[in-house]
Structure formats: C-alpha cells, structure tokens
Amino acid sequence: MRPLWLFSTPSMLAVMGCTATIGPPVDGQGGDVPGGSASGGSEQGGPGSTTGVNPIGKDLSTVQLDCSKPNVGTNPLRRLTRSEYAHSVRDLLGGAVSSDSLPPDERVGAFPSNMAPVAALDVEDYLETASQVALAATANTAALLGGCDPVKQGNSACADRFIATFGAKVQRRPLDEAETSAYKGLFTSQSAVSFANGIRVVLEAMLSSPYFLYHFEPSLAGALAPSPLDGPARAARLSYLLWGSTPDDALLAAAQSGALGNADGLRAQATRLLADPRARDAVGTFHVDWLGVDELDQVTKDPKIFPQYDASMAAAMQAETARFASYVMLDGDHRLTTLLTAPYSFPTGPLLKLYGVTAPAGTNTPIQLDPTQRAGLLTQPGFLAAHAHANQTSPVQRGKAIRALLFCTPPTPPPPTVNAVAPDPMPGTSTRERFALHTKEATCAACHALLDPIGFGFEHYDAIGAFRSDDGGKPVDAKGNIAGTDDADGAFDGAVELAKRLGQSKQVAACVSEKWFEFAFGRAPAEADACSVQATQKALAATGGDLRELLLALVTTDAFLLQRQP
Amino acid sequence: MRNAHQHRPSRRRALQMLGLGAAAAPFVPLLNASGQEAAYPKRLVLIYTPHGTIYDNWKPTGSQTSFTLGPILSPLTPFQSKLNILDGLQIIHSAVRAPSHTEGIGVLWTASNLSAGNAFNFQGYPFDWVEGPSVDQVIAKSIAGQTAYASLELGVNSGSNGPNNRMIYSAARQPVQPETSPSRAFGRLFANFVPPMGTGPDPALERARLEKKSVLDLVSGQLSRVKPRVPTADQQKIDAHLTALRDIESRLGTAAPSAVSCSKPMAPSAATDVPTVWANQFDVIAAALACNLTRVATLQLRVGDNRRSPPHLAQW
C-alpha cells in the first residue's frame, strides 16, 4: 500500500535539513504583505524548493529533503466553520449561536473546511444569524462601547470608537479608511431611530462582512513566489488553530507590534494560547473530528438492542473524548503514547453505567478504568460506536478507521458491484464467523486481509463501546493481526495490546502530524509542504511524541508563515 | 435570542405581525385549496432519495399504459392519468476515483462529470465538485424574474457540504446547499409576504427592508474591495457571494406574490423528528408553489451515499 520507492530515490539524498525561514517583521497595519522578496531565502519571483515528495501517508522524519528554499502549498480561501463562527461570537460578544443556523460545513479529509463558493441560501443564513446576534448583543450597548458615554462624549465619537475598536476585533485586523467610513455612513443612516439602533445595524454588518466570514489573508495579485503572511493573518491562524476561535486583544496587539514576525514571538504567543482554557476547544475538536466521533450526531443504534443509546449518550461520548484528549495534551504529559494507551478517562452521565464505574469527587480527576479492558482514545465508546453498525460491531469499519486515521493509508474502496451490507446478527454465531466470507473469497481477501484482522481486535466492545466477553453465545475471540505497515506488523490479542503497538509506531506518529496539518490549514499537505510536514514529524520524534512540541513546531513552519498563489 | 428592541422586526416577529407565526399545526394542503388548475404555470420539482428504493414496493404492476401503483407510489393514485414513470435509467460517467456511489449524486441532475481537481479527500481519494450546472438551475435561470425565488432547495439530513452530498449546482463547481429546516425555509419565503387581499406593506416591514438593503450594500462594497486582494483562483468565490447578495436584494423589493391562489399559509411546526421534518419540507414546497414564490424546487432526502433506511419508512 505504502510506496517504498521514496526512500531509495538517489536524488533525495542531498542537501540540508529543513528549517523554517521567517521573514522580517511584517507590518500589522492592515495593509498588504510585502512582495515575494521579503521571504527569507526565496528568490524574487522564483518558486520555492521542490522536494518532489508528496508527504501524504509518509514518515519523513528521517528522510533527506531539499528544504533550502521556503515553500508552501496553496491555501484556498475558506469560510469559518460552524464551530469557528460560534466560538468567535462567544468570545467577541458572549452570546451563543446554534450551529444549525449556519450553512453546513464541508468536510475535507477528517476535518470541516469550507472552500466552496456560497449560494444565496448560505448568505441568507449568515445575514439572519448576524441580525439575531446583533439584536441580542445590543440589548445593552454600554458593554460594547469600551467606556465611551454617548451622553457625555457624543453619539458620533462613541460610534467612531466602536467602529475602530470593535471592528478590528470582529474583522481580526485594523480597519482601513474605506471600511471605517462605510461603517460610519451606515451608522449615520441607521441611528436616526436611536443610537443603539445604529450600533446594532453596524454590528450586524460587521458580522456579515467577508473579513469576518472568511479566513481572509490579503495577498498581492500575481505574486507567485512564497511570501510572508502579515501579522493579523498570522494571529488569526494561531487562534483558530489553538483555540478554534478569534484572536484576543493581546494577540491582535502582538500582530500590530510585529511580534509575530519571528519564531520566538510566535512560539511565545502559541505557548500563551495553549495555557488558556480556549485551547481545550481546539484540542477537543481535533480529536473528536479526527476519529469521526463527531459523526455520532447522525448515528442511530437499534433501540431493541441498545435501548440506552440516545442523543444524550452520544453527546456524552463526544464530550468524553474531547475532555480526555485535552487533559492529556494540556494538563498531562502531552504524549501521543498516553493518548493511545492511558487506562483512565472522563466518562459522565450515561457513560458511567456503560463503563461500570462511579463518578469521582474531584472535577479534574480522571476515572481509573480496568487496564485490561481500556487503553486510550481507541477503546472509548465514542470511537467504538462511531465505527460500528446500528445492530452489531463492524470489524471492517473499525479496521478501516485504524488504517485511514492512524496509519494514513486508507484502503481501496470496494468495487461498486459489491453488496456492502453487513450480514445481520444471528443467534449462535459470532461476528467473526459472519465476516469470515471476506477472507474466504479471493476477490475480497486482498483488501480485507488488511482491515478485518485489525477490526477483530475490537471484538470485546459492542456497537456502543460496552465491554463484553460473550458474542452470539460464544466467548469473544479478539485476536488480530496488522499487515502492510512500516513498523507495526504482527499478531496481537485485543485492543489494549493493539493500542500499545500503535502508541509505539513511528508511522502512527507521522500520521498524527499529517492530521494536525490538515486541521491547521483545512487541506491535505501538498508537495510544496513536504518540508513543513517533515518539521512537525521531526519535532514529535525528537521529543518522544510530545504533541505540544508538534504544535509549537507547526506554527513556525513555512506552511504556517507563508502563502503562495496557485 | 430575545427581542429586546422592537424598532425592527426579526423575521419571526414579522411573521407574527402578519398573524402567521404562532401556529404549530401542519399547514393547509394548499394545492387542494384552489380550483384554478388551468392557471397554474409549469413547475419542476426534483426529489432525491439515496441508494434507490425497495424495488418491489416501488415498481408499478401492469402494462405501460394500464398499471397499478405499488405501495410507495400509491399516494399518487389520484393523479395516475398524468404520471409518467421511468425505470431502468443508468448514469454513466467517467473519472471514477472515489467510490462510485459517492460520485453518483453529483452526476444525477447535472449530466456532468466530477472535476479532476483535488479539493476534497474522501477517505484518501482525491475528489472534487461537478463540472456543470444541474438541470433545475438551468431552467430556473431561464425563467428568472417571474417569481421572487428563482428556485428553492430543501433537504432532510442532507449532510455536510461535499461532492458526495450535493446534487444541485448553479454552475460548474458551484454547489447549492439545501435548507434543512422547514421553519427557516418558511420564514425566508414568507418573511416579506403580503397576502393578496392584505392591507398593504407594514411600515415596520418597510423600514426593516431599507435597513437590510443598507447592510447588503455595505457588504457588497467590502467584497468588491476584497476581490483584488485574494488570489485569482478564489475570486469566483467573491463573485458568488456578490451574486448571492444581489439575489437577496432583488427579493427585498418583491413584497407581494403575483398569484391569487394562495391563502395565508401557516408556519410549519418546530418538531425535529425526521418524519415530521420530512413532511414539513414537502409542505413548504407546496406552499411556495401555491403562492407562486418559485416554480422550481428540489428536495434531497438524506445524504448522497446513505446507508440507513429512513426510520419511519422501513419499506423503502
């Protein structure tokens, strides 16, 4: 599955390691970035280094690449995701937004990323949501005016101040003259009713603005060489990666001061952001989306077999995975191995019974689980229920998830003529027996040999993730086998053993780096990003799998600092 | 959200002002309410259910000209003399990269192939939008201006926005997302609706209209200033946003429908269970057609590559 030719191509065996090149401090005045020449070692107008390596599904941590010139793939213009929008409104105004009042997200790979053009309906959703948010937020305008008193200082002065200060927060960059005067004109025309009405309509327009709705990163038309992003664009990348939300005042100030123009400044801000409670949103969202646990929103189970499964249990599963991941990454030892093997978690509500445990007294204390039954993310009900059928487990889907999400080597889809409907459970047969056809028929076996034997390792967990010792009246056989990987092949018995194997695999670590890249940029890495992906993989390898170090490395890669036109 | 300020009606308030908002019951079967059948213009309604159907329950029995409808189509029996039922059609398209079930929905109404681009990654396979408009949008465009809405796109559980879940395209690579909430669809359609025998525009509604227009104008100005500052490849996204704003703005001016066959429809219930939402979306389409707010509607029932039967329709 995995092309090994990469490692034996002679032309790769040259030159130096990859280091991120940081441009000079870029101005934060809301203007355009300097031309391509500002970018470190890049030649004027010339392309960046071409490594010739497609980084998808590869561990590049020990590969020699030519990273002598900065390079970056193209980032298509994206709109905020539902979650980014809701978090941004929360942090700007304190209000809540129901995510289904916004257009549904596109899903690019594992993560939402909205790259398609909008249609009228989408824009109506944005307008209507902006209108409702602005209406609620201006019930009391005093909170928005930063201490300006319209009675003492005048309506116009307070409106000017609101437009400049709050506008820069909503739009994540200072307003230029054209934008400022457009908002002031709107205020003037709409404040005839009342001062508050003028502020409300201006706020509605700000929230309907392309500067708010899009991840707008100004670029010079026709600049084909990699060029540095300006300060505000870097600030927004930092906050949406690490908080899933809009920058705060301190981050916007750092963008203004030029502090995001060098690696130390970026690491300092990233470290500050990771210490903030908002980082839990981003880390939780990453893991829930990565493992497909977010799809439990749409998953139903057979009520005759799983009467206890309902929307609140699904929500508890998502919350558990998010909480556990943010605990390990932000409070714990930050290790990938721990994420994949820890014998504790944070079940709440209906999950306590599913696990057979009781709630602890402390709030930030993990609940210890039976280490022979549970090990990390992959033995949590969220992952197990998301990759199972309504009425039974699915060794195929669970095996496929491990290959696609942990090894970054998704299997070939079944041919269209295949009946992909799983055999119904029958009394007296185990799941393993019912799926045996896959390995008997030669046409199926080639691919399913890579899937089902991994999935059988999860047979101790039913379709909602409860531990079981009996399947169809027979003792569970959870023996499995991994084949076709770089460094994880071989037989194993049960998911706990599988999880330990995955936790030690370099291929898995490399894959997790790739997933964080996807999460950060809303796209898969391109050839031009090979050095950036490599930098994060190296950081992870060099620190024994410290995921915080991966993130700190990611924010100083070329992919993070630069942009390039297609 | 609270309506703390009453200067400006929200859409829901606007409906209440018209006496339309509070009802929770399914609204009246409008198509039956009028006897003016001959006056109706031609309409197009496309409905999609994924992964086919239970064929034996769907297939009519008998000959091509004399047949009995199966259980699934039997509600259409009163209109049987006007039905043409097609069977055995096949969609042939090239460039199979992702699983073919996944690509089918995009090809269905567009008769176009999927782009060879790589905007999406479907379980590891490159994947992209369709390279042509869908037939409903072509027709809608050719009769645009005759109704407030050129077309109406609705869905139920129609999933995330991706080539595997989208069937309607306004142009190549420009998918149109369906509205999945009957309440929001209804609110949007009837926000500015004035019944034919009504007392004329409400001053509060008129003020709201002017306010909305000023917001739209400001955002359009911003988009025009943003356009040269994004890469050429992204400028079509800015253009699409501008087009959408113009479309919305043009509707702000059309307060009253031209048809007289429409009485005051009642808002659909806010229930979120699938059978009710499903039925309500059909009712929204019926109301929009009866009130001549559009002549082209589409309804997508579930995601493109759906593997679950609708919970209330086990025989499908």
Report ipTM (2 d.p.).
0.88
With an 8 Å Cβ cutoff, is B98 touching chain A? Answer: yes
Tokens coding B281: 């979306």
For chain B, the C-alpha Rg in angstroms (whole number) is 21
Q: What is the mean pLDDT of each run of 10 residues along chain B (316 residues)?
A: 33 33 32 44 89 83 88 88 85 62 82 80 72 94 87 89 89 90 86 56 76 96 95 92 92 55 74 84 89 91 70 56
Question: Measured between CA atoms, how close is A424 to chain B, in angstroms?
Answer: 14
Distance (Å, whole) CA A196 – CA A185: 15
| Pairing of β B174-175 and β B296-301 | unpaired
The chain-wide mean pLDDT, for chain A, equals 88
Quick: pLDDT tens for A52-71.
888 988 899 999 999 988 99
Cβ distance A413 to B211 less than 8 Å, yes or no, reads no
With an 8 Å Cβ cutoff, is A221 touching chain B? Answer: yes
Q: Name the A residues in 324-343 with CB < 8 Å from any B CB.
A: none
> Looking at beta carbons, which residues of chain A come within 8 Å of B158?
104
Of the candidates B176, B178, B215, the beta carbon closest to that of A204 is on B215
Cβ distance A107 to B162 less than 8 Å, yes or no, reads yes
Residue of B nearest to A116 (CA): B174
Report which listed range, A99-113, A210-224, A245-259, B124-138, is most confident.
A245-259
Q: Which residue has the higher pLDDT, A320 or A445?
A: A320
Cβ distance A139 to B228 less than 8 Å, yes or no, reads no
- Whether the pLDDT of residue A3 is over 60: the answer is no
Contact B224, B242 (CB under 8 A): yes
Q: Identify the band that residue A95 occupies on the pLDDT scale cut at 50, 70 and 90.
A: confident
With an 8 Å Cβ cutoff, is A485 touching chain B? Answer: no
Q: Name the B residues in 277-316 with CB < 8 Å from any A CB.
A: 307-308, 311
Three-class SS state of B221 = helix
Q: Which helix (H) or strand (E) holds A490?
A: strand A490-493
- Average pLDDT of the segment spanning A132-137: 95
Q: What was the pLDDT predicted at A395? A: 94
Distance (Å, whole) CA A9 – CA B249: 58
Distance (Å, whole) CA A170 – CA A217: 15
> Looking at beta carbons, which residues of chain A come within 8 Å of B100?
416
| Pairing of β B44-48 and β B296-301 | parallel
Q: Which residue has the higher pLDDT, A472 or A112?
A: A112
Q: Which residue has the higher pLDDT, A506 or A3?
A: A506
For the entire predicted model, the pTM comes to 0.81
Q: What was the pLDDT predicted at A256? A: 95
- Whether the pLDDT of residue A322 is over 90: the answer is yes
With an 8 Å Cβ cutoff, is B144 touching chain A? Answer: no
Contact A230, A221 (CB under 8 A): no
Of the candidates A77, A390, A410, the beta carbon closest to that of B237 is on A77
Of the candidates B7, B225, B234, the beta carbon closest to that of A194 is on B7
Q: What was the pLDDT predicted at A19? A: 33
- Average pLDDT of the segment spanning A403-416: 84
For A175-189, A306-320, B195-209, which range has the lowest pLDDT when averaged over its residues?
B195-209
Distance (Å, whole) CA B159 – CA B166: 9
Q: Identify the band that residue A444 occupies on the pLDDT scale cut at 50, 70 and 90.
A: confident
For chain A, the C-alpha Rg in angstroms (whole number) is 26
Q: A326-329: long-range contacts (C-beta < 8 A, 24 or more apart)?
A: A326/A279, A326/A280, A326/A283, A326/A284, A327/A364, A327/A366, A329/A283, A329/A547, A329/A548
Of the candidates B211, B233, B236, the beta carbon closest to that of A566 is on B233
Q: What was the pLDDT predicted at B123? A: 60
CA distances from A375 to A148, A364, A494, A500, A512 (A): 55, 19, 11, 8, 18
Q: Give the number of other CB atoms < 10 A from CB of residue A207.
A: 26
Distance (Å, whole) CA A246 – CA A295: 25
Question: Which stretches does DSSP call E strand in chain B?
Answer: 44-48, 61-62, 67-68, 120-122, 125-127, 152-156, 169-171, 174-175, 296-301
- The DSSP 8-state label assigned to residue A243 in this structure reads T
> Which of B120, B165, B184, B247 is the best residue to mutate to test the A interface, defined by the most A CB atoms within 10 Å of its own CB?
B120
Cβ distance B241 to A409 less than 8 Å, yes or no, reads no
Residue of B nearest to A79 (CA): B237
With an 8 Å Cβ cutoff, is A488 touching chain B? Answer: no
- Whether the pLDDT of residue A289 is over 60: the answer is yes
Of the candidates A104, A133, A185, the beta carbon closest to that of B160 is on A104
> Looking at beta carbons, which residues of chain A come within 8 Å of B154?
none
Q: Which residue has the tokens 């069937």?
A: B167
